[in-house]
Amino acid sequence: MTDDRFAPPMSGPEGIPEGFWESLDRPFEDPPFPFHVLDLRLDLNIPPALGERVRSHLALQENQGTSERIHPVQVFPSPKPQFKSRLAIPEEYRIDFVEQGDYLSFYAYYAAARLHLGSGTAVAALGMAADEHMPGEVENLLRILSSALLVGDKAFLLHSSAVVTPSGALVFVGHSGAGKSTSALMFQAAGHPVLSDDLNILCRRDGRWEVQASPFLSEVKRVLPGRHPIRTLYFLFQDRENFIVEPPMASRMAYIYSNLVVVNGIPGLCPDILTLLEDLARAVPVRGLHFKKDKELVPWLLSQ
């Protein structure tokens, strides 16, 4: 008999045997670990010790909405030790996606899941890895599952920082190094609460767009829970002077799309996402912000 612990690493979806998901028949027998995101709750029956370590990667779980819609995620130990060979460079961490009808499957290194896009139910499989890897693997599953489910809830996760001002929230969008944390820290130093400097949830509620901190930790301490109306969304460019540009609609949508979490790589979700982004770009001012890193940015931007 072959011992799977010593089998060659699987190379991704092409290494998953046919009927893999249907073959899982012995789930973990643990009480559900609840994960709250906006008005949704995902229940994962993962071992309590792993759940506590995952919880240490999260924030504001007690303030994440009503969670009236519960999505069970049945978790199984995987008969395969891993789904992909782990890369030596963390920045190259990659998720593989497979769309088959109503199902979306995705494969990380030591964890995989299959989501039914219609009902929102999911099955997950956890492989065999050193303890230090597993909380991050489960957190990535939560990011992907919540990102896919939020689209149907007229919401999405966005790589961004967000601050709350008396006239509404400002959302700063950009790729790594664009200045999301820098802008958030400037506003925090000036006394304005920060939601997150990494990931925020944008959602359409009661006829307006609002922003809420994501459940995932960021470097900047979060001050306010709950949702806040968006005053302006800025995509960031570090420059020698402070000035604002008004981009055309296509550029607004393209830049937001490129900063979405995960879902911009799933073709089946593209029509719904584009509908959401068009609504956002028409309802909320979306501008390009060229800025220099000095204390004058906050009062200048608040006066715009």
The DSSP 8-state label assigned to residue 260 in this structure reads: B
Q: In the predicted model, is pLDDT for residue 97 greater than 80?
A: yes
Is there a contact between 184 and 194 (Cβ–Cβ < 8 Å)?
A: yes
Q: 């006829």: which residue's tokens?
A: 207
Domain boundary among 98, 131, 151: 151
Beta bridge partners, 290, equal 237, 243
Q: In the predicted model, is pLDDT for residue 7 greater than 60?
A: no
Beta bridge partners, 124, equal 75, 113
User: In this structure, are 147 and 8 located in the same domain?
Assistant: yes
Domain containing 286: what range?
A: 155-302
Cα 277 from Cα 295, distance rounded (Å): 32
User: Given this model, what pLDDT does residue 220 score?
Assistant: 75
Domain boundary among 118, 151, 184: 151
User: Given this model, what pLDDT does residue 47 score?
Assistant: 93
Packing angle, helices 134-151 and 270-283, rounded to 10: 70
User: In this structure, are 25 and 118 located in the same domain?
Assistant: yes
| SS3 label, residue 115 | strand
Which stretches of 239-302 are assigned E, i.e. beta strand? Answer: 243-245, 286-291
The model carries a pTM of: 0.89
Question: Two tokens at 295?
Answer: 């204390």
Beta bridge partners, 71, equal 42
Q: In the predicted model, is pLDDT for residue 44 greater than 50?
A: yes
Is there a contact between 138 and 44 (Cβ–Cβ < 8 Å)?
A: yes
* Residues 6 or more apart whose Cβ sits within 8 Å of residue 106: 95, 96, 97, 98, 112, 113, 114, 115, 144
Q: In the predicted model, is pLDDT for residue 196 greater than 60?
A: yes
Beta bridge partners, 244, equal 289
Domains contained in the chain, number: 2
In this prediction, residues 221-247 reach a mean pLDDT of 89
Q: In the predicted model, is pLDDT for residue 1 greater than 50?
A: no
